[in-house]
Structure formats: structure tokens, C-alpha cells
Structure 1
Amino acid sequence: MRGLDELLARGRAAARGLQRERIRLYRPGAGGIDWETGEENPADGATLFEGPARVKPAAHVGEEVDAGEANVTLRDYVVSLDWDTPALPQRPQVGDRIEVLESPEARMVGLQLWVTGVGYGSTATAWRIGAEDRQ
């Protein structure tokens, strides 16, 4: 196992070096619609994590779907956190949100993603979260 542990340590250090974005992973609150004004009332949610991450597209194509009366294009992303990230106050779940706060790619700042899945593994080099952009 010593050889595997050394290999994983090198892989995890390399993955950490690719984390060029800063994100906020949060669980949205129970906002709603103000029926008098017709505007959405955002509710503060619980921040689960804020820190460095790698955000990259999983594919360069999107899937168009109907959402109510509008067409929406779904684009898949993989968000990688440091494998050694401490346990979060709550495990991320489908529907949680990720916001890109900082990035050397200025067009990514403000990107809003929806968590679609979370992977765990003892031989992974990073903690990977599946997400999608719903535009």
C-alpha cells in the first residue's frame, strides 16, 4: 500500500494545483414568490463550503430541454475540491448550488451551477461534484 499512498499523494497535490477558481457551495433557502409584486424573494441558504476549486466543463455541448414555457440548455460541469477537504456540516445533495466567486477566466465569475451528483472514493485525487448550468 505504501506505493499506492505515495502515488495518490502526488496525484492529489497535482489536482490541488489545478484549483484556480474560488466557489461557494450552498443550500438555497426556502424563498418564494411575492404574490403581490410577482417577484421572487430569495432566501438566504446555508453555506456548506467556500474556498478553492477547479470548475471545468464535462462536455462542450449542451442539451436543450423544455422547462415550463422556455427552452433551457443544460451544460454539464465537474467541480473538484481538494480531496482533503474536511467533512462539511451537511453532505452536498442534488439541488444544492455552486457559485463561482473568483476565476482567472473572468467570464466564469458569477456562474451559477446546480449540483447533480456527488462522488466519493478513497483512491480519488480530488473530491468531484457533478453540476449543471441551466441557461
Structure 2
Amino acid sequence: MNELDAILAAGRAAAAALARETVAMYRPGADDFDWSTGTTTPAASTALYTGPARVKPLSAEGREVDAGEQPLTLRRFTVSLPWAAPVPPLRPRPGDVIDVLASPDARMAGLRLWVTGADYSSTATAWRISAEERS
């Protein structure tokens, strides 16, 4: 192991220790609408990851937007998965969902985030995913 690998290993261990939330990341499927009955059947989703993560807001304030004539507040988060986490079957993409299943901070449990992007780097200490809360 060279010096860089030793530094990265220490940084990755420190980042993993900060992963105190449990999250589930998945890709929602396309719902099926039956025109003859007028009913929508929710589609199955594709699981991408379930396990420890660090969920960190980027700031305490949100950005107000209008979506379909309805006001929304968007808050940005960074979700860091441990470097050693299993690689998901599909790369996350905008529109994928991250649910916070458990957290030492009870206010975080139940938080739903939408993926907006993901960072890739061989010298990162964690796999960081950009996401936003829409409320």
C-alpha cells in the first residue's frame, strides 16, 4: 500500500464512521394507467441501495419555486454512502428517491429526498449524491 492509499483508507474509515443514518435508494417505476377503468396501478420500483449513509443539509434555507401552480420549497442535501458500500445495479440518476429510514436525529427519519446528481472520484472518501427535499 502506498502513501496515498493509506491516507485514503484512513479518510474512508473516518467518513464511514459519520454514516449514522440508514437509507433506502430506489428508482420508481412508471405507473400504469388503465384508460377503460380510469385507475392507475403503481409500478414496482428498482432497489439501488439500502444501508448506512450520512445525510447532511447544505444550508438551513430553501429555495421557493412553483411546480404545476403549486408552491414548493426545495432544500439541498448531500447523501454520502460509505466508500465500501456495494455498487448498486444501476447508477443513480435524477428522479431516483432516497428515503431516510432511521437516524439518531428523530427529525430526519421519514425524510424523502430526490436525487439531483452523483459525484464519482477514485480519490473520494465517500460516494456523494446530491439530493433535494421537496416540501
TM score, norm. by length of structure 2: 0.91
Deviations 1:65-95 (A, max 9, x none): 0111211000000000011222211111111
Partner of 1:25: 25
SS for the counterpart of 1:16 is: helix
SS of structure 1 residue aligned to 2:107: helix
TM-score (norm 1): 0.91
Identity, in percent, stands at: 59
Relative distance call for 1:80 and 1:32 in structure 2 (3 A) is: same
CA shift in 2, pair 1:80/1:40, >3 Å: farther
Partner in structure 1 of residue 123 of structure 2: 123
Q: Counterpart of 2:104 in 1: which secondary structure?
A: coil
Matched position secondary structure for 2:25: strand
- Look up the equivalent residue of 1:82 and give its one-letter code: P
CA distance in 2, matches of 1:39, 1:63: 34
1:72–1:38: structure 2 CA closer, same or farther, 3 Å change rule? farther
Evaluate the alpha carbon distance shift between residue 41 and residue 58 of structure 1 in structure 2; reply closer, same or farther with a 3 A threshold: farther
- Summarize the alignment of residues 74-93 of structure 1 with structure 2, pairs less than 5 Å apart: 74-93=74-93
- Alpha-carbon distance change, 70 to 121 in structure 1, aligned in 2, over 3 angstroms: same
> What is the distance in 2 between the residues matched to 1:123 and 1:4?
9
2:32 corresponds to 1:5:
no
Task: For residues 11-66 of structure 1, give each alpha carbon's deviation from its aligned partner in whole angstroms, at most 9, with x where no partner exists.
Answer: 00000000000000000011266889988754320111100000010122100001
Question: How many residue pairs were aligned?
Answer: 135
CA spacing shift, 1:44–1:9, aligned 2, 3 Å: same
> What amino acid does structure 1 have at the position aligned with 2:95?
G
Aligned to 1:48: 48
One-letter amino acid of the structure 2 residue matched with residue 131 of structure 1? A
Q: Aligned AA for 1:59?
A: S
Partner of 2:134: 134
Does 1:107 find its partner at 2:116?
A: no
Mapping for residues 53-72 of structure 1, pairs under 5 Å: 53-72=53-72
Q: 1:33 to 1:102 in 2, by over 3 A?
A: farther
| Alignment RMSD (CA, Å) | 2.1
Q: Whole-Å Cα distance in 2 between the matches of residues 67 and 95 of structure 1?
A: 15
